[in-house]
Amino acid sequence: MRVHVTELINGDRLSNDTFNNYGLHVLSKGTVLNNQDISRLFQHQMDYIDIDERASEETEGRTLESTINPKWLPTVQPLYENAVKSFEGLFTKANLQGKVDVEEVTSIFQPLLSNLQMERDVVSMLLLLNSKDDYTYQHSVQVGMLSYYLATWVGYSNEEAVRIGNAGFLHDIGKCRIEESILNKPGKLTDEEYEEVKRHTVYGHEIISDSLDEPFVAIGALQHHERNDGTGYPQGLKGDEIHPVSKIIAVVDIYSAMISQRVYQQKRDLLFVLKELYQLSFKELDPYTTHTFIKHMMPNFIGKRIELVGGESGIIVMTHPTEFFRPLIQIGEEFIDMAIEREYEIQQVYI
């Protein structure tokens, strides 16, 4: 069957090789389309595409529904939940023994890392797996996952990215020495309490240094609150004084914290969070690392429903490589390039 590129949905299978107007091969026959593939067809200015017959033609209105395709969920969710639950035990042992067991870390986190490549829609994945319970443990698992992804995006090999994922997984292990009443305090911390919380970076460095022969893992725990402009802690490092792995963990640590619902914070709109990261990249966070994260996260919003500031609803059709937050959107039958038509603003994204 032949459909316009705007009518493609996740799961459509190409019945022919596709070529753009210059004869360049874009996608192969038999490709099962996902959000990134559909975006690629848009970028090559394709019009009509040949796809295999769909199992059901009841597609009217489906473009305005969530594009989450959780075929991976039965496999990944148990691994995620086990990692969160097991991290609690790791946390307790680290407090009692002052060390973490390398083999235990591998057995908890490696099965999850091995399955992360099953799903490229990181935004939807985190939302489906995220809950408001066990923030400290869940946050560590999320930062480990996102550190792995971001490490691959900035150019590390898969083997290196796995090790960086482990660094993210253990980045907050020093919090095991902080009283729970302080960690989960719903109100504002006193100056003394805040100073104690800041020590979790030093505690984590000590625990990991005594446990693993992986210096940068310990450095990740020590430096993930350092900031490019020198306003971070515990050492007030600047720019290149901060280890590249610590810069990765810093970005995803903030992202995970901001999308999470905690006793003292409601989770925020995901696009808003990325905009906040973008603003931080001009002062506190490493620009290259932050922009790489945003650039790779934004295509996950393709196909997601949006509400504009004026109240109109639509769908994100394609993202812009440099104007991260001004995508091509569809409202009814109309297509609007927000990079050109600057009066439009996205109020909220629905996942």
| Residue range 208-257, pLDDT digits in tens | 999 999 999 999 999 999 999 999 999 999 999 999 999 999 999 999 88
Res. 66 pLDDT band, cuts 50 70 90: very low
The HSE-up count of residue 321 (CA atoms within 13 Å, CB side) is: 4
What does 168-218 look like in DSSP terms, one character per residue?
A: HHTTTGGGGGS-HHHHT-SSPPPHHHHHHHHTHHHHHHHHHHTT-S-HHHH
Q: pTM of the entire structure?
A: 0.79
pLDDT at residue 285 greater than cutoff 80? yes
Domains of the chain: 2-60 (3.90.105), 73-297 (1.10.3210.10), 302-350 (no CATH)
Report how far residue 107's alpha carbon sits from residue 242's, in angstroms, rounded to the nearest whole number.
30
Count of beta carbons in the 10 Å neighbourhood of residue 109: 26
pLDDT at 58: 42
pLDDT at 27: 87
pLDDT at 145: 93
pLDDT mean over 30-47:
77
Strand ranges across the sheet with 328-331: 334-337, 328-331, 313-318, 305-308, 346-350
pLDDT at 57: 44
Report how far residue 165's alpha carbon sits from residue 148's, in angstroms, rounded to the nearest whole number.
4
Report how far residue 286's alpha carbon sits from residue 228's, in angstroms, rounded to the nearest whole number.
6
Res. 64 pLDDT band, cuts 50 70 90: very low
Q: In this predicted structure, which of 65-69, 276-280, 306-310 has the lowest mean pLDDT? A: 65-69
